[in-house]
């Protein structure tokens, strides 16, 4: 990513503290002063993301504030808000807007009146948050909030300002860079999804197998209370959409008994998405958990009090994040709360249902593996898929699927609402969501496909994605059959499709080839595409396919009869 760094004041490029950002991405410092330039100048569209560091003092002369017309000053702010909106309407690339507006003011005066400067700052911040809910690519950083922890006097430096127009101290730059990095990391990579926990001396004090059900330390006071608060933090994380899994060397029935019956436990059996309680190596168990939940191990975080277990997991599983918990249990609650790997910009209603959905997925995977005949098994679980229109009430789910589906996703195009609705409008009766029910529950909306009409002979499979938690049901065959039916209705003869390689979508690589599509060379694809040039391919590695509607035979459909 190319990132432009813009500010109303000088930011001291080349300062060592910017290095943590520069190690991640290519950072270009624009001339300081006029930040509206980055919002309106088309030249700036070369960047993939714009950081704007805004010091209110640079726009509002706080030393003369007494004689200024407040409404006029507020208008300046509203103008900037309008410019941000315009920029985001025109160009979807993210803006990270960091706002600082802190003054050390007179205590006596503040005892009766809010300071005008603060009023303007709050107005600015309110407006930013209001528009950020409408523009998913606007991210706000309240600089004063992050500086307060270290103290404003340590983060700002008047000397630096007078000598170089940089308002910040070395420490101020360090903290700002560190927090910008956090936001940047979450923009460019998704959050962790699973917290794997040990049990003995992690969820409670003591060893269940030795000390017994009655004597484990949880909930009373002292150290038991620390474990209880730790469990509360875990529960909160769970409610925000993270899956909780247990991996412990214990007797399964003992642990389940504690989860189901122990009064002091905050975490209950229903909070746990999956568990592996046995005497096998933890690394093996974790790999199995990944299979059962259908999630990549790089989205796992492992928390265990035992350093030997942690080292073994680190050695045997490359992609997992292993946390070293503080030796003092009383610090765990805060340590986990401060961990930002699970944090995301927004939590949805859907997040609260996650544990239940994945629990049923893990049950499905286990039961399926017990059946020797997969087809017979799948025929018996009452699979009931149906198509769902993309409309006002489903668009947010459709966008969420586009943004978040990494594995079963043929082209990984990250559409936002506008683009998706536009696509649908241009291609009537060609874009649908899919919902699914079976004996494991109502899985909700779990797949999306979009077809682009190229001409009377050709359709292009623009989008085809499925949530990984329902994989293993051959639902993709059913969905493809719906697509063929749509094509037949439109009297189309061929469907062209593309599989665009990413680091994560290997699971979908063989899908087209295994379901009646024929691979064609890039050249053949280009020949067809040149006639239409409606398909934009950005040069990533891709495989191209074609299917003849009249001849295509899709396997596995008998499951859905």
The window from 6-14, 245-253, 323-331, 352-360 that contacts another protein (CB under 8 A) reads: 6-14
Q: Out of 26, 130, 154, 164, which residue is the one contacting another protein (CB under 8 A)?
A: 164
| C-beta closer to another protein: residue 13 or 151 | 13
Binding test (CB under 8 A) with another protein, winner from 2, 16, 86, 509? 16
User: What is the smallest separation between the CB atom of 154 and another protein, expressed in angstroms?
Assistant: 11
Q: Quote the least distance from Cβ 28 to another protein, whole Å.
A: 15
* Among the residue ranges 154-162, 175-183, 238-246, 468-476, the one whose residues contact another protein (CB under 8 A): 154-162
Q: Pick from 66, 104, 162, 370 the residue near another protein by CB under 8 A.
A: 162
Q: In whole angstroms, how close is the CB of 236 to another protein at the nearest point?
A: 37
Least separation in angstroms between CB 163 and another protein: 6
CB-nearer residue toward another protein: 154 or 391: 154
What is the nearest approach in angstroms of another protein to the Cβ of residue 170?
A: 5
The set of residues, in sequence order, having a beta carbon less than 8 Å from that of 515 and lying 6+ positions away, is 476, 477, 480, 554, 555
Smallest gap from Cβ 263 to another protein, in A, equals 53
C-alpha distances out from residue 218 to 251, 262, 264, 266, Å: 19, 9, 6, 9
Residues from 304 through 343 that contact another protein (CB under 8 A): none
Q: How far is the CB of 12 from another protein (least distance, A)?
A: 6
* CB 179, min distance to another protein, A: 19
Between 159 and 425, CB nearer to another protein? 159
If the CB atoms of residues 10 and 364 are measured against another protein, the closer one turns out to be: 10
Q: Does 153 engage in binding with another protein (CB under 8 A)?
A: no
Residue 99 sits at the vertex; the CA angle it makes with 95 and 105, to the nearest 5 degrees, is 175
- Tokens found for residue 235: 């529960």
**Rounded Cα gap, residues 165 and 35, in angstroms:** 15
Select the span of 12-20, 96-104, 290-298, 363-371 touching another protein (CB under 8 A): 12-20
Nearest approach, Cβ of 117 to another protein (angstroms)? 24
CB 88 within 8 A of CB 71: no
Does 12 bind another protein (CB under 8 A)? Our answer is yes
As measured in angstroms, the least distance from the Cβ of 23 to another protein is: 13
Nearer Cβ to another protein (68/171): 171
Stretch that binds another protein, among 8-16, 113-121, 181-189, 384-392 (CB under 8 A): 8-16
Both tokens assigned to 461? 């499979």
Q: Which range binds another protein by CB under 8 A, 164-172, 177-185, 259-267, 503-511? A: 164-172
Nearer to another protein, 16 or 280 (CB): 16
Q: Which is nearer to another protein, 172 or 224 (CB)?
A: 172
Nearest distance from C-beta of residue 7 to another protein, angstroms: 15
Residues in contact with another protein, counted by CB under 8 A, come to a total of 12
Q: Does 151 bind another protein (CB under 8 A)?
A: no
Answer for the pair 427, 452: CB distance below 8 angstroms, yes or no: yes
CB 371 within 8 A of CB 271: no
**Which one of 160-168, 189-197, 343-351, 553-561 is the stretch in contact with another protein (CB under 8 A)?**
160-168
Distances (CA, A) of 47 to 28, 93, 132, 267, 529: 9, 8, 20, 45, 29
Strands 300-303 and 494-500: unpaired
Tell me how far, at minimum, the Cβ of 14 lies from another protein, in Å.
6
* Cβ-based nearer residue to another protein, 151 or 222: 151
Q: Report in angstroms how near the CB of residue 480 gets to another protein at its nearest.
A: 55
Tell me how far apart the alpha carbons of residues 97 and 53 are, in angstroms, rounded to a whole number: 6
Q: Are strands 458-466 and 441-453 parallel, antiparallel or unpaired?
A: antiparallel
Q: Residue 348, CB half-sphere, CA atoms under 13 Å: how many? A: 9
Helices (H), 427-474: none
Name the nearest CA neighbour of 444 among 392, 400, 379, 406: 400
Q: How far is CA 87 from CA 123, 305, 454, in A?
A: 20, 49, 32
Helix, strand, or coil here: 100? strand
Q: Which one of 9-17, 48-56, 278-286, 533-541 is the stretch in contact with another protein (CB under 8 A)?
A: 9-17
Among 40, 148, 163, 439, binds another protein (CB under 8 A): 163
Distance CA 207, CA 220 (A): 16
231, 307, 326, 401, 405 from 226: Cα distances, Å: 9, 20, 13, 38, 37
Among 28, 115, 137, 170, binds another protein (CB under 8 A): 170
When the beta carbons of 159 and 561 are compared against another protein, the nearer one is 159
> What residues contact 19, with CB distance under 8 A and at least 6 apart?
177
Residue 26 interacts with another protein (CB under 8 A)? no
- Radius of gyration of the chain from Cα atoms? 27
Helix (H) or strand (E) holding 561: none
159 counts as binding another protein under rule CB under 8 A:
yes
Structure tokens at 374: 């997969």
Q: Give the range of 52-60, 113-121, 155-163, 277-285 binding another protein by CB under 8 A.
A: 155-163
Q: Which residues contact 446 (CB under 8 A, 6 or more apart)?
A: 401, 434, 435, 436, 466, 467, 469, 470, 475
Cα separation, 275 vs 244, whole angstroms:
9
First-last CA distance in the chain: 48
Of residues 13, 151, 222, 307, which one binds another protein by CB under 8 A? 13
Angle between helices 282-293 and 307-316 (to 10 degrees): 60
Considering the rule CB under 8 A, would residue 11 count as an interface residue with another protein?
no
Query: Least CB distance from residue 153 to another protein, whole Å?
Result: 12
Q: Please, which residues bridge with residue 494 across strands?
A: 458, 548
- Residue recorded with tokens 């600089």: 143
Closest approach, Cβ 30 to another protein, in A, equals: 15
Query: Beta strands 441-453 and 431-438: pairing type?
Result: antiparallel
Binding site for another protein (CB under 8 A): 12-16, 159-160, 162-164, 166, 170
């Amino acid at each position: 990513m190319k990132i432009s760094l813009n500010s109303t004041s000088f930011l001291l490029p080349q300062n060592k503290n910017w290095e943590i950002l520069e190690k991640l991405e290519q950072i270009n410092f624009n001339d300081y002063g006029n930040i509206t330039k980055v919002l309106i100048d088309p030249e700036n569209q070369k960047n993939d993301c714009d950081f704007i560091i805004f010091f209110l003092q640079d726009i509002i002369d706080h030393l003369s504030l007494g004689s200024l017309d407040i409404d006029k000053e507020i208008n300046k702010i509203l103008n900037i808000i309008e410019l941000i909106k315009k920029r985001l309407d025109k160009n979807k690339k993210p803006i990270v807007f960091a706002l600082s507006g802190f003054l050390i003011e007179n205590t006596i005066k503040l005892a009766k009146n809010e300071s005008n400067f603060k009023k303007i700052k709050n107005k600015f911040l309110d407006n930013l948050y209001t528009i950020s809910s409408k523009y998913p690519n606007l991210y706000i950083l309240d600089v004063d909030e992050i500086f307060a922890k270290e103290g404003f006097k340590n983060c700002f430096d008047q000397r630096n300002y007078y000598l170089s127009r940089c308002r910040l101290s070395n420490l101020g730059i360090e903290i700002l860079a560190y927090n910008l990095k956090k936001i940047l990391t979450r923009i460019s990579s998704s959050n962790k999804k699973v917290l794997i926990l040990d049990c003995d001396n992690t969820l409670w004090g003591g060893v269940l197998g030795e000390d017994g059900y009655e004597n484990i330390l949880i909930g009373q006071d002292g150290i038991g209370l620390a474990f209880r608060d730790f469990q509360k933090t875990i529960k909160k994380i769970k409610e925000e959409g993270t899956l909780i899994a247990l991996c412990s060397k214990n007797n399964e029935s003992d642990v389940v008994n504690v989860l189901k019956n122990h009064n002091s436990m905050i975490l209950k059996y229903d909070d746990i998405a999956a568990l592996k309680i046995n005497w096998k190596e933890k690394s093996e168990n974790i790999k199995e958990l990944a299979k059962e939940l259908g999630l990549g191990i790089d989205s796992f975080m492992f928390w265990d009090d035992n350093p030997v277990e942690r080292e073994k997991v680190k050695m045997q599983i490359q992609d997992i994040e292993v946390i070293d918990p503080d030796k003092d249990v009383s610090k765990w609650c805060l340590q986990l709360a401060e961990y930002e790997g699970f944090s995301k910009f927004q939590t949805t209603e859907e997040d609260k249902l996650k544990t239940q959905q994945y629990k049923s997925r893990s049950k499905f995977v286990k039961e399926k593996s017990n059946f020797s005949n997969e087809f017979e098994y799948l025929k018996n679980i009452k699979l009931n898929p149906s198509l769902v229109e993309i409309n006002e009430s489903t668009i947010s789910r459709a966008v969420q699927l586009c943004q978040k589906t990494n594995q079963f996703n043929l082209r990984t195009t990250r559409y936002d609402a506008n683009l998706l609705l536009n696509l649908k409008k241009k291609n009537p009766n060609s874009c649908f969501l899919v919902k699914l029910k079976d004996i494991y529950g109502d899985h909700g909306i779990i797949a999306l496909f979009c077809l682009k009409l190229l001409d009377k002979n050709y359709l292009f499979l623009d989008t085809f994605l499925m949530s990984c938690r329902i994989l293993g049901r051959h639902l993709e065959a059913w969905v493809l059959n719906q697509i063929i039916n749509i094509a037949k209705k439109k009297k189309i003869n061929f469907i062209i499709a593309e599989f665009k390689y990413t680091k994560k979508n290997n699971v979908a690589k063989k899908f087209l080839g295994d379901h009646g599509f024929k691979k064609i060379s890039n050249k053949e694809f280009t020949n067809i595409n040149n006639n239409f040039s409606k398909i934009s391919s950005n040069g990533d590695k891709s495989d191209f396919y074609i299917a003849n509607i009249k001849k295509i035979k899709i396997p596995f459909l008998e499951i859905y009869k």
